[in-house]
Homo-oligomer: A and B are copies of this chain.
Amino acid sequence: MPDARHPSVPNLTTAHSAPLLRFEQLLLEKAPQIEGWFRREFHKTPAPFYCSVDLRNAGYKLAVVDTNLFPAGFNNLNPVFEPLAVHALQSAFEKLMPSACNVVLVPENHTRNLYYLEAVATLRDLITKAGYAVRIGSINPAVTAPQEIALPSGKSLRLEPLQREDDRVYVEGFKPCVVLLHNDLSGGRPAILEGLKQPVVPHPKLGWSDRLKSQHFAIYQEVCEDFAEQFGIDPWLVNPLFRNCGEINFLKREGEECLAANVELLLEDIKAKYAEYGVSDEPFVIVKADAGTYGMGVMTVKSVDEIRNMNRDARKKMASAKEGNEVSGAIIQEGVYTFETWRDAPPETEGMTTEPVQRSDMVAEPVIYMIDHYVVGGFYRVHAGRSNTENLNAPGAQFRQLAFNNACNCPEPSQAPDAEPNRFYAYGVVARLALLAAARETVAALASDAN
């Protein structure tokens, strides 16, 4: 019988797995110390409410390439992970409010992106299962009355206008004591959420209108250095090198020299690290908007000439980040090959995905989900039309569930360091380095608020 919990598994094929194997071996040997280190760090700096992290595994390197504080793929997680998410939500909400309380969930302004709304419905159901009454309060000005939206899964989602009275928000007949933000605020911080008496988590200052990737990755680098020093590894194994440029206007060709210079320098740095580890792959960098999300304005660059010779179309694409904002800053990040591929199981298991079955190898990258400081699962983002040097978070991406024994929080010391549960435990460790960076980023953002 087909089993939703037995999806096919990803393959990792690389000629240079020795550095990662040593890293996985270290994680297995030092798991209690590593968990202890995370405990101390998250005790000092509480984890964000939730977080998802995109990883790339090159075999010789396992790095975080993006950290999202408004994870929008809860519907991509294997449903067998639900009890884990329920536990973690209970733990996260208890810290905010020790006793019972109502939650209002503030989603993105989409009302027609059913795929996104499925994720909201999944999150709503998880919060309900965790034992909290929850309603969806939209800040979309077009939502002036409750709307019931039927979803492809058969679920239904009720959007209600978020209203404000004095310093509290509510939806009709429902007073929340926590506002759970699931809107990344790419369009800016809305007035309705400013100066509320109710806690808003994550804090609106963590929205994409305030957040910069270069800020996050600067802190991530510090976290990796702390971790690396503690456990005796080269931080490069988990940290993508990066540089950034403050003012770029792709259409007006402003800031191009900064970009070209940094691309060149970064390619040199990567080349040096590849030489150190005997990696024969061709170095590349990813240029992307320093603010924003949704995989727009992302470019793979292998030579500085590609920057100098960008045509008008490429410039236009880079300029159009989410919500039409022009890109003003850019981060130039070390490109990390993904040597993971995914091939779907034969058609009888078709029921397990919402996507068409692909019988050829697709480039894949793991996405790890966390709530509070707990890893609650993950999935693979796969793309049939992209190569192993390209951003996969792009139209055409599909999602493949992980089996439950790959919940990323259960190392299996009796198995080989690169056996699946241990590889996924490594994913959970590296993802939590980014989670810790996001925690420190939150503290920094709120401190700058106070100034």
Contact at B35–A130, with CB atoms within 8 Å?
yes
Give 1 or 0 for each of A22-49: 1 = CB within 8 Å of chain B CB.
0000000001111111111001000000
A98 to chain B, nearest CB (A): 5
**Known: A131-B34, A409-B86. Is A99-B40 also a contact (CB below 8 A)?**
yes
A5 within 8 A of B: yes
Contact at B35–A131, with CB atoms within 8 Å?
yes
Give 1 or 0 for each of A85-97: 1 = CB within 8 Å of chain B CB.
0111011001000
A203 within 8 A of B: no
A168 to chain B, nearest CB (A): 20
- The A interface, classified by DSSP as helix, strand, loop or mixed, is helix
A374 within 8 A of B: yes
Partner of A39, one of B5, B39, B43, B100: B100
A201 within 8 A of B: no
Partner of A99, one of B39, B80, B90: B39
A140 within 8 A of B: no
Give 1 or 0 for each of A403-420: 1 = CB within 8 Å of chain B CB.
011010111011000000
Contact at A82–B130, with CB atoms within 8 Å?
no
A449 within 8 A of B: no
Give the docked Cα–Cα distance between A128 and B5 (Å).
Answer: 25
Contact at B31–A128, with CB atoms within 8 Å?
yes
Contact at B80–A405, with CB atoms within 8 Å?
yes
A101 within 8 A of B: yes
Give the docked Cα–Cα distance between A80 and B40 (Å).
Answer: 28
A6 within 8 A of B: yes
